[in-house]
Structures are given as structure tokens and as C-alpha cells.
Amino acid sequence: MITLVRRVITVCALGAALAACGTAQAPQAPRPAPSAAPSRPPTLAPGPAGLTPVFKNGSRTHGKTVALTFDADMTADQGARAAAGERFDNPGLISALRALKVPSTVFMTGRWAEEYPAQARSIGRDPLFEVANHSYSHYAFTDDCYGLPTVSGDRMRTDVERAYAAFRKAGVPDPMPYFRFPGGCYDRRALKALTPTGVTAVQWDVVSGDAFATDADAVAREVLDGVRPGSVVVMHCTRSAAPTTERAVRTVVPELRRQGYRFVKVSELIGS
Ligand SMILES: [Zn+2]
């Protein structure tokens, strides 16, 4: 127990960049926010050997909830492309989510927050959304991941903490202690490297296929075919790389509501 307490204190000290740090319980058990600290988001307890826990989807038996998640991708080396006019943001998508009143989770890279600080702040201050971490650089945390450049093992933790620093600088008040690996690529080494940050890694069970898609209806069908109670859907908030996402969302949202689904943020799925 003493070891456990000491470990938790260490996590809190090292995880100072995060909005919250966790306390340990049984491995993988959901950890609801204590009522005394309502702003502390739920996280999963560390996995075996203290590894960063991984969340993929919520309960299949706690009602028809679904979390739409949007990766705001921008890679550390894409500054020149943004300067040349390429749009890595998607204000129309964010407006649509607001108009449709869809609570959602935005996994933002630190580089994106630097490029679009006003949008990062606006999303971060809107209770409809929660901002989570998608690394600073959008470099891969494993060797072979969709051709992405890689972060070395000793830089992984720094890359995550640098994203939180970028969120703070942009004015995002309470980024969540959730981390999505670029490309979804991770291994034991990456999970171990991130343990001191206290994050819960968040994957997904439904791939929308919106990246580089040109057919919004096909994307909508993928989502509608894949969603089950507790699902986490991965989509993108990056116009240049996912130009059909807004249109797909405008199809998917009313249809899932018609089927009885309620849209929630990832934090609600983790906490229930
Ligand atoms: Zn990404």
C-alpha cells in the first residue's frame, strides 16, 4: 500500500501538466470522479505492471450511448503547408456539432493548437466539447505506423506534455487526461513511457474511414454499420485530410438519434 501511495504521488508530481492526476484502484476498473472534486475526470486505473491503461469502448449493456471523437491532426512538420494555405482545421464541422448539439471529444495535437489557438480556445471553453491529447507532433509512438515519422522512446512523455503546454498557452482551461496515439499505434514500450503522465490511452471500436474519403455517404454508412452501445467512433477535424466529415456527421447524427442513441463524450463512457 505504501508503494502504491508513493507511486500515485509520483504520478501526480510528474503529471502536473495534466488537468488531473489519478489515484490507483483495481486494474482496469472505471474510476468515477469523486464528488469532492467534480472537475476531476474519470480515468482508468493503470494496467498490469503500471502500464498506461487503454480504453477502447464503453459498456455494451448500459444503454445506447455513443461517443463521436474527432482527431485534430497536424504534424509538427506541416507548418509550411499551413502557411501555404492548407487547412488543417474544420470550423464548419465544429459549427455543425454545435448546431446539432452533439457532445464530443476532440483529440488535438499540440501543433494544431499552436496553429489555430482561437479555435482551440473556443472548443476548449465550450462545455459541449472536451479537448484531449493527440500528442504534440503527431509522430508515431511505434516504429511502423502508416509511414509517420517516429518519436524516440525517451521523447514520448515530453511530446505528450508539450501538447498540454500548447493547450494551456492557447487558453484551453481543462484538457482531459486522455491520450490518443497518432495512427492508433502503440506497444508495451509506449504504454510504459507514458505511465508518468497519468493519461488513459483512448482507442476506438468504429473506424469511420473519413480520412481522405471523398464520399460522405460511404463514411456515414461505415459509422451506422459499426456503432453499437458504448462505441467510440474515430473521425477527423482536419479539412484537408477529411473533407467529407461534416456532411457525414449531418447524416449520422439524426439517424443514430432516431435509433435511440445518445451522444456522449469519452469521459462519460469511461466513467460509467
Ligand atoms: Zn491523428
Q: How far is the CA of 108 from the centre of ligand 1 (A)?
A: 8
The yes-or-no verdict on residue 19 having pLDDT over 50 is: no
Which residue type is seen at 102? V
Which residue type is seen at 218? A
pLDDT at position 40, please?
85
Q: How far is the CA of 25 from the centre of ligand 1 (A)?
A: 30
The yes-or-no verdict on residue 7 having pLDDT over 70 is: no
Q: How far is the CA of 195 from the centre of ligand 1 (A)?
A: 21
Q: pTM, whole model, 2 decimals?
A: 0.86
Q: How far is the CA of 142 from the centre of ligand 1 (A)?
A: 14
Q: How far is the CA of 102 from the centre of ligand 1 (A)?
A: 21
Average pLDDT over residues 121-150: 97
Tell the residue number behind the cell numbers 494555405, with chain if given.
Answer: 85
Q: How confident is the model at residue 30 (pLDDT cuts 50, 70, 90)?
A: low
Domains of the chain and CATH, by start = 2-271 (3.20.20.370)
d(CA 47, CA 22) in angstroms, rounded, equals: 13
Q: How far is the CA of 253 from the centre of ligand 1 (A)?
A: 22
The yes-or-no verdict on residue 182 having pLDDT over 80 is: yes
Q: How far is the CA of 119 from the centre of ligand 1 (A)?
A: 18
Task: Give residue-wise pLDDT tens across range 31-53.
Answer: 554 444 456 899 999 998 999 99
CA angle 179, 185, 187 (to 5 degrees): 90
Q: How far is the CA of 141 from the centre of ligand 1 (A)?
A: 12
Angle between helices 91-99 and 245-258 (to 10 degrees): 20
Buried b (16+ CB within 10 A) or exposed e, 133-152: bbbbbbbbbbeebeebebbe
